[in-house]
Homo-oligomer: A and B are copies of this chain.
Amino acid sequence: MSASYIQAPAAEMLELLEELSAFSAPGDGVTRLLYTPEWKKAQQFLLDRVRESGLRVYADSVGNVYGRLTGTRDDGKVVLAGSHIDTVVNGGKYDGTYGVVAAFTALRYLSSVYGPPLRTLEAVSFAEEEGSRFPLTFWGSGNVTGLYDGSEAKDCRDGEGVTLQEAMESCRLGDQNPDAPRSDISTYVELHIEQGIVLEQTETQIGVVSAIAGQRRFTVTVKGTANHAGTTPMGLRRDALAAAAEMVLQLERFAIEAGDPLVATTGRLETFPNTPNVIPGEVVFTLDIRHSREDELEAFCSSVASAFEEIAKRRDVALDITLRLSASPAPMNSGLRAELEAICLRQGKTYKAMVSGAGHDAQLFAPRCGTAMIFVPSRGGISHSPEEYTPPEELAAGLEVLIALLYKLGYEETDEDGLVPQNTKERWT
């Protein structure tokens, strides 16, 4: 395969991306929340377009849409590629959708050029990943991988009181209802925009994801004494905001010392009573800490907690640190990573091994089957915004890499060392 072969599929992919971006609620950018009319139209459009392309097409009970190329040596196992179709409110047209259109385009291209594969390939458009309508995330891939069993839908409500069950039933796409969770997926591949600035800043075309970072979220509450800003001498204050400011800076200092890929952020901070002439009596703020290694993540969080306690003691303020979210790092398959790097070298593309700081559907597959993620640059690192942008040639480059990997996994006769995930190796021989 050479780059010249895929000018046609890249154009087709870009057209599909544009067409899907039209299915949006009013407002800036793209707003396509789970089980809304615009969401249903987008998945239905995809079903119709993929059916025309000759792939076998179906939807499952939660509204994930699949296109399937059954392998001639079908052993009941599937190589799955895709991403999610939903967006945040006023999001962009690339996040998730790019990986969906690339996967369907790749399968259509491979089928048209090479005919049926040896091993079964599927493309997927997951129903939901963002958590923007209902208070849960990964509803699409979560039902496939067993994170959910569907029972969550009855009691989960959106901001207007509609249950996930009701919303889902109003958006039935098909009656085909595969086993959930699926036990037939041997490999999962996801192509996605980086949503960060690293590839752009290093002028790199392809990010080969080594791991999706683990994450901890905490809520920190600092309680001092609210008092008159004019009548309370500096020496008699228990200023909750000054204490919190010291903690925010300590977090930043520790994170810089720890170095990449650790990131630590205070994104939300509330001051009470929040009045110019009153010394703050209470401050509540968040910590978002991520690293690709569980042990490093855990050690960092412990150091932060100790430092915060020392600050609180010295300043005589009360401190509470509550864990809100804990997600383990998801390492990508080393064989698939090596194959992606080999593909980039063959195709003359610049690439970079990198940690994904953002969460993706791929992290649910990583503990269960060989999983790979491919990144393309995000202009200015901007995402979850109408400003989200990746130039066509950079989107095409990602597609070229995806096609090559799916060709390797679906069409090649031999199973070279490191290509096929260890835990499914016997399936491929």
Contact = CB atoms under 8 A, between A and B. Distances in A.
A197 interface: yes
B357 A231 contact: yes
Interface in A255-310: 255-256, 259-271, 274-280, 286, 288, 290
A96 to B, nearest CB: 14
Nearest to A277: B288
Interface of A: 194-198, 201, 213, 215, 217, 227-236, 239, 241-242, 244-246, 248-249, 252, 255-256, 259-271, 274-280, 286, 288, 290, 356-359, 381-384
A196 B228 contact: yes
A201 B269 CA distance: 32
Contact of A265 (B264, B277, B286): B277
A252 B234 contact: yes
A241 B270 CA distance: 12
B232 A242 contact: no
A198 B233 contact: yes
A248 B240 CA distance: 11
Contact of A357 (B232, B245, B261): B232
A250 to B, nearest CB: 10
A365 to B, nearest CB: 19
A274 B268 contact: yes
A384 B234 CA distance: 20
Given A236-B381, A288-B230, A252 B263 contact: no
A264 B236 CA distance: 13
Contacts of A215: 230
A229 B288 contact: yes
Contacts of A244: 245
Given A196-B230, A267-B278, 7 more contacts: A197-B236, A230-B359, A235-B256, A246-B249, A249-B249, A267-B276, A276-B286
Contacts of A229: 263, 265, 267, 288, 290, 357
Contacts of A264: 234
A275 B288 CA distance: 10
Contacts of A249: 242, 245-246, 249
Nearest to A266: B241
B242 A252 contact: yes
Nearest to A324: B276
In this complex, the member of A228, A246, A261 whose beta carbon has the largest number of chain B beta carbons within 10 angstroms is A228
Nearest to A358: B230
In this complex, the member of A264, A265, A358 whose beta carbon has the largest number of chain B beta carbons within 10 angstroms is A265
A218 to B, nearest CB: 9
Given A231-B196, A245-B245, A271 B274 contact: no
Contacts of A201: 236
A357 B381 CA distance: 48
A286 to B, nearest CB: 4
B276 A256 contact: no
Contacts of A242: 248-249, 252, 266
Contacts of A252: 234, 239, 242
A277 to B, nearest CB: 5
A268 B263 contact: no
Contacts of A270: 274
A217 B276 contact: yes
A383 B267 contact: no
A34 B63 CA distance: 61
Contacts of A231: 194-198, 356-358, 381, 383
A39 B272 CA distance: 29
A194 B213 CA distance: 54
In this complex, the member of A215, A229, A242, A268 whose beta carbon has the largest number of chain B beta carbons within 10 angstroms is A229
